[in-house]
Chains A and B, each alone.
Chain A
Amino acid sequence: MNPVLPDAEALVGELVRQLAPRVTPETGMIGIFTGGVWLAQRLHRELGVALPLGSIDISFYRDDYAKSGLHASVKPSQIPFDVDGRHVLLVDDVLYTGRTVRGALNEIFDYGRPASVSLVVLADRGGRELPIAAQHVGAHVTVPEGSMLVLSRSDGGVLTLQLERNA
């Protein structure tokens, strides 16, 4: 039995409303590959964030490297602004165990010491394995056991949430 999933485009609008009062000319934004970068590109544009968007691939910081090895397609991380002393919005599509965010935080701190990091996610599906929480959440979503909640993007740039069976 599949629950009805929220409309990702409506959640983007919800996040824009939440974040608009918080964005200043000094705000830095970083998306996590792949879905988090898609979402961050939208938020970055619609919020008119002044600094260029950063993107990180946390493959070099994963905690399951010893078990699973290195991902075959690692994207270069790029943070094109100085992280030191900055308020940073970290953006991902789905928050689940919290392990990806842990890796992302470690990576950001290798670029410098931010004043603060706030986590922005389109969907929080619960199931945390680490003490990590998002400050800005589009929606809380219940996901059936054995399924993954994933974000996809059409050629036209429309974002959609979907359920996929675990591999």
Chain B
Amino acid sequence: MRNPQLNAKGELRHLLTIEGLPREILLQILDTAKSFLGVTEREVKKVPLLRGKSVFNLFFEPSTRTRTTFEIAAKRLSADVVNLAISTSSQTKGETLLDTVDNLSAMHADMFVVRHASSGAPFLIAGHVKPHVHVVNAGDGRHAHPTQGLLDAYTIRHYKQDFTRLSVAIVGDILHSRVARSLIHALTTLGTPDVRVIGPQTLLPTGVERLGVSVHHDMAAGLRDVDVIVMLRLQNERMRGPLLPSAGEFFKAYGLTPEKLALAKPDAIVMHPGPMNRGVEIDSSVADGAQAVILPQVTFGIAVRMAVMSILAGASA
């Protein structure tokens, strides 16, 4: 069966998950994003590719940062953008997901950017919309957040060039993290030989090794000589749940301090998808330190989303 994200010519027409995408497509997105980065530094930060197209940001789960970066990316491609926070409107009146999509399609949407608490919701929408409509997954449940995984990969490539010589550590709550899952698929597809996940047993999914990563419960061993450290956000609700004793205990064991950072290579970069909890997963002096590339990640994220949207919108059914 054909990958539902690709058309008959093998071009990307929906971006739902990085899992199963060919390496060439990931590289095409990263290369195209590099060209868009230049656009965002010009006097006129806009190109006319999506002129006359309508992009609907369909957010069934609250998000400010991701929605804003998608909105800016679409506007820099000259698209018209409509933002819908659905949790506060028709769903509370009982409309089904696909009815909502049908209604918006009748308003001539060309692309849906979807965030949903349920894993798989963007797949359902992609299977339902007309052939000329494109779907981008902006995060579904615990499953995938492909544009975040791609912008993380872009950031790593920007600072470290060659994936095939790198050691990358992903630290924290892997269990609930769609960011971690998408990044792991991106890194393994791009040929990264050493991907490590580090966290307490309770926050690591069972069988995570099958994704091609090694598992560590101890930062001292896990961070040894890595080139890249990706810290994940510890969500507030997890700190109160049964999975962890307390935020303070977590910071002691897994928070990234200057001392723990010193275990990595001297030129290692520190990434974080945001928003950060200072003093929970990352020490302020590390977050603001010379090795942190957390703000460049945000800038690269816009170029990566411009690349994804322009590649999708240019692909036929």
Chain A residues engaging chain B, CB cutoff 8 angstroms: 57, 59-61, 65-66, 68-70, 72-78, 106-107, 109-112
Report B-chain residues with C-beta under 8 Å of the C-beta of A59.
Answer: 35
CB distance from A73 to the nearest CB of B (A): 7
Interface string of B23-42 (1 = CB under 8 A from A): 00000100110111111001
Interface residues of B in 102-132 (CB under 8 A from A): none
Q: Does B291 contact A (CB under 8 A)?
A: no
Q: With a CB–CB cut-off of 8 A, which chain B residues contact A106?
A: 48
CB <8 Å contact, B35 and A57? yes
Q: Which listed residue (B11, B42, B49, B314) contacts A110, Cβ 8 A?
A: B42
Contact indicator A110/B47 (Cβ below 8 Å): yes
Q: Is B46 an interface residue (CB 8 A)?
A: yes
Supposing A69-B316, A70-B311 touch, asked if A111 and B49 sit within 8 A by C-beta, the answer is no
- Count of chain B residues with Cβ under 8 Å from any Cβ of A? 22
Residue among A68, A70, A77, A110 with the highest chain B CB neighbour number at 10 A: A70
Inter-chain contact B38/A70, CB cutoff 8 Å = no
User: Is B315 in contact with chain A by the CB < 8 A criterion?
Assistant: yes
Given A76-B37, A106-B48, 17 other A-B contacts at CB below 8 A?
Answer: A57-B35, A59-B35, A60-B35, A60-B39, A65-B49, A66-B314, A69-B311, A69-B314, A72-B28, A73-B31, A74-B35, A75-B35, A76-B35, A76-B38, A77-B38, A110-B43, A110-B44
B189 at the A interface (CB under 8 A):
no
Cα-based distance from A59 to B311 in the complex (angstroms): 11
Which of A60, A75, A76 touches B49 (beta carbons < 8 Å)?
A60
Task: Give the Cβ gap from A101 to chain B, nearest Cβ, in Å.
Answer: 16
Instruction: Say if the beta carbon of B188 comes within 8 Å of chain A.
Output: no
Closest to A73 in B: B31
A76 touches B314 (CB 8 A): no
CA distance A110 to B316 in the complex (A): 28
